[in-house]
Amino acid sequence: MSGTDRTRRFEAAVLPHLDAAYNLARWLLRDEQSAQDVVQEAYLRAFRFFDGFRGDQDARPWLLSIVRNSCFTWLRERGREPVEFDEERDSEQRDPALYEATDGPERLLERKLERAQVNAAVATLTPLFREVLILRELEAMSYDEIAQVVGIPVGTVMSRLSRARSMLRTALAAADKED
């Protein structure tokens, strides 16, 4: 029964990454039910494409790229993400004050940042920036792996990540002032 065999291989390769898949979807879609639906659909897609997956490959970036693509399709269908992403236009010009925004090398750690504040600040980032941040910090992926997931060059991963961090600092600083 090659069918069942294939299913077993598939489950062994990708089910261990369910938390990573769900976490990414949950952060991108910011809704528990939608994240569950999209992850389930992404697993089905992955199953259909599993023949193209080599056994010696790491399944996590492969799976997460399918999950993230499903998420962005979902967002796009609901008009929540620009279809074309322009690295220049959509990042630097969005907030020209970004780079001088953080008031000096302030010690973020010294301020008592609440869990809710950090979560809210991460949520203010647009999905493309949130995505690289989540993959890097919460999934501890290498630049290469993130590049595979997102389908962009490693250099773009690094610049996007650095912009995501600037934005996050700004958001955290703003959240702190509100208190």
Partner 1 sequence: MDPHEDTELSAIVKMQAERHAAPAGLRDRIVTSIRQAETPSRQEPKPQGWRQWLNLGAAFAMGVLASVTVVHFLNAASAQERLAQDVVSSHVRSLMAAHLADVASSDRHTVKPWFSGKLDFSPPVADLAQAGFPLVGGRLDYVGGRPAAALVYQHRQHIINVFVWPHDTRAPTPPAALEAQGFNVIGWEDKKMQFWLVSDLNASDLQAFADQLRGAAIAGSPPAPGKR
* Amino acid identity for residue 46 in this structure: A
142 binds partner 1 per the rule CB under 8 A: yes
Work out the burial of residue 38: count CB atoms within 10 Å of its CB; fewer than 13 is exposed, 13-18 middle, 19 or more buried: buried
Amino acid identity, position 109: L
* Residue 153 tokens, joined: 């060059």
The reply on whether position 113 binds partner 1 by CB under 8 A is yes
Give, in order, the Cα–Cα distances in Å from 151 to each of 79, 83, 111, 142, 144: 21, 15, 36, 14, 10
Cβ proximity to partner 1: between 91 and 161 the closer is: 161
Site string for partner 1, 2-41 (x = CB under 8 A): xxx-xx--xx---x--xx-xxx--xx----x--xx--xx-
55 binds partner 1 (CB under 8 A): no
Say what the alpha-carbon torsion angle 76, 162, 58, 46 is, to the nearest 10 degrees: 0
How close are the terminal C-alpha atoms of the chain, in Å?
Answer: 62
**Site for partner 1 contains 107 (CB under 8 A):** yes
Q: How many residues bind partner 1 (CB under 8 A)?
A: 76
Residue 163 makes contact with partner 1 by CB under 8 A: no
Site membership for partner 1, residue 95 (CB under 8 A): no
| Residue 148 engages partner 1 in binding (rule: CB under 8 A) | yes
Binds partner 1 by CB under 8 A, chosen from 135, 146, 168, 175: 168
Compute the least distance from the CB of residue 19 to partner 1, in Å.
5
